[in-house]
Amino acid sequence: MQEEDKEYWQQLNKAYIESSSQFDKQVLFFASGALALSFAFIKDIVKLSVATNKWLLISSWAFFGAVIFFSIISHYTSLKAINKKIHNLNASEDKGSKKLNCLTKWFNILMIVFLAMGLLLLTVFVAINI
C-alpha cells in the first residue's frame, strides 16, 4: 500500500469513528430531548387529567425508553466486538467479533426505527391534544 493510500485510509477510518460516535450521541440526544419535551408538554400545556389518547403518549415514552436502552446495549456490544477483535487480531476468522458487530448493527437500526415511531406517536398525541 502506498503512503498516500495509507494516509487516505487513516483519514477515512478517523471520519468513520467520529461519525459513529456522533450517531450514538445524536440518537440519544433526540430520544432524551423528546422524552423531556413530552413531560414538559403534559405538565405545562395540557394537563394529563384532561388529555385524550394517553396511550399515544405512553407508547411514545416506551419507544424513547427503548431507544435509550438500545443505545446502551449497542455501545456495549460494540466495545465487546472491539475487545474480541483485539484479542484475536491475528486469527484468520473471528466469528465472535463479527457476531457482535452484527448485533450492534441491528441495535442501531432498532434505535432509528423506535426513535421515528416515538416521534410519530408523540406528534400525533400533541396534535390531538392542542
Give the separation between CA 120 and CA 126, rounded to whole angstroms.
10
Residue 33 grid coordinates: 430531548
For the cut 90, the answer to whether the pLDDT of residue 58 exceeds it is yes
User: Could you say which DSSP state residue 16 is in?
Assistant: H
**Does residue 84 or residue 41 have the better pLDDT?**
41
pLDDT tens digit sequence for 19-30: 877 888 899 999
Mean pLDDT of the chain: 87
What is the spatial distance between Cα 117 and Cα 10, in angstroms, rounded to a whole number? 37
Type of residue found at 51: A
* Tens digit of each residue's pLDDT (9 = 90 or more) over 97-118: 788 888 989 999 999 999 999 9
Predicted pLDDT at 94: 67
